[in-house]
């Protein structure tokens, strides 16, 4: 029986670089409270809806607005935006390409 000398069953681990964390946009700094003004709430709803439809993730929107992902989901629901399925976007292949 061979000894692994403390090695794991899978000796080669791949580390992936971390995704950069986005800074809160200046217009949303200090506005994440239960006492938002109607104008602040309207701006949040409009921003989240616009950016989500343009392709931003809920995670990215949470970072950009200083909210939790749950708060962003509620904002999208309140704005009437239909949410995408969870997970990464499916890869698209051009019709003339094959595997």
What is the pLDDT, as a whole number, of residue 1?
Answer: 53
Q: Which of 36, 34, 29 is nearest to 64 (CA)?
A: 29
Q: Locate the domains of the chain by residue range.
A: 39-83
Alpha-carbon distances of 3 from 8, 13, 41, rounded to whole Å: 11, 20, 62
The DSSP letter of residue 33 is: S
pLDDT at 95 over 70: no
- 33-87 pLDDT per residue, tens: 878 899 999 999 999 999 999 999 999 999 999 999 999 999 999 999 999 988 7
């Amino acid at each position: 029986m061979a000894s692994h000398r403390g090695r794991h069953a899978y000796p080669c681990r791949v580390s992936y670089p971390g995704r950069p964390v986005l800074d809160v946009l200046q217009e949303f700094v200090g506005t994440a409270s239960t006492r938002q003004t109607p104008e602040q709430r309207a701006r949040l709803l409009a921003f989240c809806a616009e950016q989500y439809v343009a392709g931003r993730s809920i995670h990215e929107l949470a970072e950009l607005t200083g909210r939790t992902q749950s708060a962003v989901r509620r904002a999208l629901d309140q704005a009437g935006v239909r949410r995408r399925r969870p997970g990464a976007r499916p890869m698209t292949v051009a019709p003339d390409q094959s595997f």
